[in-house]
Structure 1
Amino acid sequence: MRHAEEVTFGGSGLDRAAEIRGDIGALAAAMQDARARTIPIWRGKPLVAGEGMMEAVRLPLDHPILGEAGGPPILLGREEGAAVFSHDISGWTPPDFDAEAQASFLDPSEYSHPSCPEARFAELRRIMTRLTPRDAELAATAKAVHGWHGSHRFCSRCGAESEMHQAGWTRICPACGGQHFPRTDPVVIMLITRGNRCLLGRSPGWPEGMYSCLAGFVEPGETIEAAVRREVWEEAGIRVGPVRYLASQPWAFPASLMFGCHGEATSDEITVDPAELEDAIWVTREEVAEAAAGLREGLLPARKGAIAHFMLLNWMADRLD
């Protein structure tokens, strides 16, 4: 697909500086460089500034907010020859913290730390389309790797607490020597079409009227194409013939890589598995366009910034090739 890397979180060309992750001297020099910066993360939310278009805030490594950090930083990469890190300050609790808002579908809550009042921590899913490609990639990488450290503190081989190494990109168990690396779960998300219609579904708990492309995890020993056919059959009872890959999107909610595919349905009749979906429908290209313009009652467009929205827009514009 010619426009594949235009998807949110893709195409920024970040230099990840992988060659210095295990070089203690090079890392020390990078951290001592006055140009080095860090992007703080709080409970998965990046620190951002601005209205309309936003920017991920890069702070010097001696900024007071880093006193809240619960551990060493992660090396995200390099910009203009200087290292960019990320510190996790999730141990800090804002005085006006709203746990209910944070658990909502699109968390609207934002919090400013007193040492950095000009910026705030915001939910990445809600602001992802308001960041530049570079800032979106940095924020998603920071969120994903910090999240992995939070959920994989203990060795899966022996149960002992492991330690961070390689500038945050490895955990090593001091008890058994086991090495563990950031996890990424492969997920297929598919634009299934039949003539001028596409198949959309909705999960329980989604906002009323919100539909999107079907998706599911790839199982061990399974190809992407087979996963597309299996998931569509299991969730909606639709048989799928030819399948082709379109684009991918890292999706740090919490740790997936979405493989966007186009599949051609060979059957029409929908049989929804209620354990998987609340509903599934066939929608014409014109109806998808009306929904995207906010003119289709009862049908909301897929979330902006998500690969489903990207694929549907390109399908409407006949740009899947």
Structure 2
Amino acid sequence: MDAGASPFAFIDGGLDRAEHLRNAPDRRAALWPAARLLLLDGEGRALGDAERGPLPLHGAQRPDLRGDAVLLGLREGQAWFAAVDDRDGPRVDLRTAAAAWPAMEATAFAQARAVLHWRARHRYCGACGGALRYGRAGWLGHCDGCGLEHYPRTDPAVIVAVSDGARLLLGRQAGWPPRRYSTLAGFVEPGETLEQTVAREVFEESAVRVRSCRYLGCQPWPFPSSLMLGFRAEAEPDEPVPADDELEDARWFTREEVGAALRGETRESGLLLSPRLSISRWLVEDWYARQGRALPTG
């Protein structure tokens, strides 16, 4: 990926995760009064304004949350913590924040949503059923029953711009808006390389055979806990056959159709692409640019 600002969300402005503070409760306590707080409800929505960002809350205003808050990291010496809080107030979902908030706040929100989702769904040990006790500033669950340690889960998944040299392969799920298509994606299985995942997932979802692929970049995708690993792939010009349990449709799109969609001409192209916050859109733009044309504006 080229240097500079990321073309998709949840990359830029990340906090210094301050590993040295995770086992230093006294130092975290000293930082708490001036710390910024990201407060999420049970649905993963942040307390904040849809345009301006999270509400400017500090630890001194919520001493009751310190014992169970997760340390997100530091920015210019100020600590940022995340905690669950269901009190009334304006709420913003992560997709809205990714489109409107400053990059740093949106990236911190994505981090908070992912780790708090893990905490909410991993309260007990998967080996013995004992309750977990959280340490290391919220990033470790310890089972006192069997001694097993549990860490936040991230699920690797590939997402692929597949081309036969002239066309781009895209698919759509049944629940998506009309005409919405996206690059194909799927989770990595145990014992599998990323390249093997690309070939397997593309064939399973579309019956198209991949010849080769190349890694381009990645995006944390906290819906709820994925890391999207972006590839471009060259494939045979097979006729797509969508998998009944995966996709409603899969088809090849020409350069002209993709270009019209990138310009927002959905009526002309019959194609609606993923929003700019996603790596999927960037992969489509990258493919289009590699066809020898400048990216459309708008």
TM-score, structure 2 as length reference: 0.90
- Separation of aligned partners in 1, 2:135 and 2:145: 15
The answer as to whether partners of 1:163 and 1:173 remain within 8 angstroms in 2 is yes
Q: Which residue of 1 aligns with 2:105?
A: 135
Which structure 2 residues correspond to residues 121-200 of structure 1 after superposition, within 5 A?
121-200=91-170
- Per-residue CA distance 1:138-172 (angstroms, 9 max, x = gap): 00000000000001101011001101111110111
- Separation of aligned partners in 2, 1:319 and 1:45: 40
- Separation of aligned partners in 2, 1:207 and 1:58: 35
Secondary structure of 1:87's aligned partner: strand
The percent of aligned pairs where both chains have the same amino acid is: 40
Q: Which residue of 1 aligns with 2:28?
A: 27
Residue from 50, 57, 60 that aligns with 1:59? 57
The answer as to whether partners of 1:74 and 1:85 remain within 8 angstroms in 2 is yes
- Separation of aligned partners in 2, 1:302 and 1:156: 36
**Counterpart amino acid of 2:12?**
G
- Separation of aligned partners in 1, 2:4 and 2:197: 20
Q: Which residue of 2 aligns with 1:256?
A: 226
State whether structure 2 residue 49 is matched by structure 1 residue 49.
yes
**Counterpart amino acid of 2:2?**
R
Worse overlay, 283-292 or 165-174: 283-292
**Counterpart amino acid of 1:315?**
W
**Counterpart amino acid of 2:29?**
A
Secondary structure of 1:206's aligned partner: coil
- Separation of aligned partners in 2, 1:5 and 1:226: 30
The answer as to whether partners of 2:266 and 2:272 remain within 8 angstroms in 1 is yes
Secondary structure of 2:233's aligned partner: strand
- Separation of aligned partners in 1, 2:180 and 2:127: 42
Superposition deviation, residue 56 in structure 1: 2.9
- Separation of aligned partners in 2, 1:58 and 1:259: 33
The answer as to whether partners of 2:50 and 2:101 remain within 8 angstroms in 1 is no
Q: Which residue of 1 aligns with 2:295?
A: none
Residue from 60, 71, 76 that aligns with 1:80? 76
Secondary structure of 1:300's aligned partner: coil
The answer as to whether partners of 1:71 and 1:87 remain within 8 angstroms in 2 is no
**Counterpart amino acid of 2:70?**
I
Which structure 2 residues correspond to residues 278-317 of structure 1 after superposition, within 5 A?
278-297=248-267, 298-317=270-289
- Separation of aligned partners in 2, 1:70 and 1:202: 44
**Counterpart amino acid of 2:186?**
G
Secondary structure of 1:40's aligned partner: strand
- Separation of aligned partners in 1, 2:193 and 2:265: 38
Q: Which residue of 2 aligns with 1:40?
A: 39
The answer as to whether partners of 1:191 and 1:312 remain within 8 angstroms in 2 is yes
When the two chains are superposed, the root-mean-square deviation of aligned CA atoms in Å is 2.1
The answer as to whether partners of 1:16 and 1:77 remain within 8 angstroms in 2 is yes
Q: Which residue of 2 aligns with 1:14?
A: 15
- Separation of aligned partners in 1, 2:164 and 2:55: 45
- Per-residue CA distance 1:198-224 (angstroms, 9 max, x = gap): 110011211111110000000000011
Superposition deviation, residue 3 in structure 1: 5.1
Superposition deviation, residue 226 in structure 1: 0.6
Q: Which residue of 1 aligns with 2:235?
A: 265
**Counterpart amino acid of 2:81?**
F
The answer as to whether partners of 1:4 and 1:247 remain within 8 angstroms in 2 is no
Gaps of 5+ in 2: 293-298
Secondary structure of 2:160's aligned partner: strand
Superposition deviation, residue 22 in structure 1: 1.1
Superposition deviation, residue 89 in structure 1: 0.9
The answer as to whether partners of 1:71 and 1:88 remain within 8 angstroms in 2 is no
Which structure 2 residues correspond to residues 105-116 of structure 1 after superposition, within 5 A?
113=89
